[in-house]
Amino acid sequence: MTVSPGKGTFGVRTVVARGDRSTAGARLGVALWATAALVLVAGLWASARPGTPTKPPVALHQRVPAQTRPTVASPALTVPAPARGYWVRFGPLGDLEQLGNLVDRVLERHRVVGRVQTEWTVRAFRVTSAALRVRRAAEERCRLLAAVGLPCDVREQPDGSYLLDFGQFRDGAAAQRTARAVRARGYSAVVHPVRAPSYAVVVGPLDERAALALARTLHESGVPFSLTRR
């Protein structure tokens, strides 16, 4: 230890020697090393004791097997086979009232009821012009076409437009000839098929005797019919 002059109570200042600091650091290191050794020995002793259960490592992500739904077999669909026998189809007729009277006669005489079928057939062909917005222009065009042998009528439509109607033809070829004649004069013309409903009745299945009796009644009525066996 060195003493140097200075101000103070005793007139001197004491300086700690450097050797004292080194000694304190060494003591602290020894204490830390001893503590670590004790902790290590205690851990080894605890793990080596008999009867101490060891816990298995816990999985952070445990995969759960996917659950499969039971497969339910859908029941098989069975389509019933068509009944065998004789089937009678009469018609088609365009007059629904006439067909109704015939059905009543068949029911009264043979005690059978059929199913009505509706068919749409082309009955005629109509020739018209394109739509015109002004009635006066439609009348003037109709007058010019009538002068060259193509008579027509002016018909007002629900939307307020006007058509030149050149008539209805049962023959499609005749309707096409009229339309071509109108186009040859520089005007538009369109052929429209006119469809109308017709009705037929199908009865069955019947046995052979009932089918033949119904066929005789239809033949007497003059109605077209067909007889098939399925």
Give the model's pLDDT for residue 31. 64
pLDDT at 47: 58
What was the pLDDT predicted at 142? 94
198 vs 222: CA distance, rounded Å: 17
Residue of 96, 130, 135 lying closest to 116 (CA atoms): 96
- In whole angstroms, what is the distance from residue 36 CA to residue 41 CA? 9
DSSP state, residue 155: E
At 17 the pLDDT is 43
pTM, full prediction: 0.48
- Please report the pLDDT score of residue 146 as a whole number: 94
Q: What backbone phi and psi angles, to 5 degrees, belong to 158?
A: -60, -30
Ordered domains of the chain (ranges, CATH): 86-229 (3.30.70.1070)
Nearest-angstrom CA–CA distance, 173 and 180 = 11
List per-block mean pLDDT (blocks of 10 residues) for the chain, which spans 230 residues. 43 43 58 66 58 50 56 55 83 87 91 90 93 94 94 94 95 95 94 93 93 92 90
Write b or e for each residue in 86-102: b if 16 or more Cβ atoms lie within 10 A of its Cβ, otherwise e: bbbbbbbbeeeeebeeb
